[in-house]
Chains A and B, each alone.
Chain A
Amino acid sequence: MSARIGVVLFPGTNCEQDVVWVFERLGARAEILWHGDATTKAVDAVVVPGGFAHGDYLRTGAIARFSPVMQAVAEHAAAGGPVVGICNGFQVLCEAHLLPGALQRNAGMKFLCETVELRVETTETVLTNQAEPGQVLRIPINHFEGNYVCDAATLARLRDEDRVVVRYVDNPNGSLDDIAGICNEGRNVVGLMPHPERASDEILGSADGLVMLRSVLASVSATV
């Protein structure tokens, strides 16, 4: 039976169809989880995709955090289910306190839309278990608020517990410690600013994101 992936759709989300398309291409069944429904429909893994949830008003992710679906996502995460937040989804997961820290405007105050190199720092997460340690992936970023910040104690903990999942090879946005993505203590919740679904075919300029999406599917088959 193929894995079922739930892709959260808030008003203002705009990457959900890309994520659905890639996962279906990889043999999974992907379905949309509307933000107003307080359920994850018992999917195997949840993806919170990119976009501008609730218009990003006040702060990115600040309003989305209160959407009914988020309580169900938190329960799914607490039960050990894989949750991946991409770009705006990463911001939402931070605001929801499923991941520590926050994402603020890029150093230099520029919107960035380019392909960057990421180094895989740990393969013990639901997003990187099929990658090689130290592997460098070419994946696009597309954000204004991708500058990861947290307090010194949180950063020390992330480092000590090997929870920095991917770092920028050449930091584009001022992120603390070159952080592009992190995970929670259980390593089943991962957030990252780059868009692996946009690097899912050579025709897009890179297929390096596939290893991340395959990792999500591998984590599902390991737990189901």
Chain B
Amino acid sequence: MGAGTPPPPGVGTIGAVPSFSARVDITHLPGIADPAGATVERALPALGYTNVSQVHVGKTIRLVVEADSAQAARTQVEEMCERLLANPVIEAYEVTVS
């Protein structure tokens, strides 16, 4: 698959078990400082973008999960977020399953 060609959306299969694409968007919890966002926000005016505020820099994790249903996949990815993918002490996460 070449660069720029996204995997096909929706339900796929790995063997006999359905698989689901999941995306995890991780951001800072409200009230937790975001140094990368603040630095980007300070850099943009140098390029003439003086009308920008509230810049946040987070991270995205994409994964494919074999599961019986989209809901089962979501539940499992949310568990992964709590245990490893995010740090709930300072980060919020949003799981999108397709």
| A191 → chain B closest CB, angstroms | 14
One of A25-33, A68-76, A106-114, A163-171 at the interface: A106-114
Query: Which residue on A lies nearest to B61, using beta carbons?
Result: A58
Asked if A152 lies at the interface with its beta carbon under 8 angstroms from chain B, I say: yes
Contact A105 to B36, CB < 8 A, known contacts A58-B84, A151-B31, A152-B31: yes
**Bound Cα distance A189, B69 (Å):** 43
Contact count band on B: 10 to 19
Contact A149 to B39, CB < 8 A, known contacts A62-B84, A107-B33: no
Interface of A is mostly: loop
Contact A109 to B33, CB < 8 A, known contacts A95-B87, A104-B90: no
For B25-64 the 0/1 string (1 means CB < 8 A from A) is 0000101110110110000000000000000000000000
Q: Is the CB of B35 within 8 A of A109?
A: yes
Point out the residues of chain A lying under 8 angstroms from B1, CB to CB. Answer: none
Number of A-B contacts (CB under 8 A): 43
Point out the residues of chain B lying under 8 angstroms from A94, CB to CB. Answer: 89
Asked if A93 lies at the interface with its beta carbon under 8 angstroms from chain B, I say: no
Q: Is the CB of B35 within 8 A of A104?
A: yes
Contact count band on A: 20 to 34
Asked if B92 lies at the interface with its beta carbon under 8 angstroms from chain A, I say: no
Residues of A within 8 A of B (CB): 58-59, 62, 66, 94-95, 100-102, 104-109, 147, 149-152, 174
Residues of B within 8 A of A (CB): 29, 31-33, 35-36, 38-39, 84-85, 87, 89-90
A–B Cβ pairs within 8 angstroms, 16 of them? A58-B85, A59-B87, A62-B87, A94-B89, A101-B89, A102-B90, A104-B33, A104-B35, A105-B36, A107-B38, A109-B36, A147-B33, A147-B35, A150-B90, A151-B29, A151-B32
Known pairs A108-B35, A109-B35, A150-B89. 16 more at Cβ < 8 A? A59-B87, A62-B84, A94-B89, A95-B87, A102-B87, A104-B32, A104-B33, A104-B35, A104-B90, A105-B35, A106-B35, A149-B90, A151-B31, A151-B32, A151-B89, A174-B35
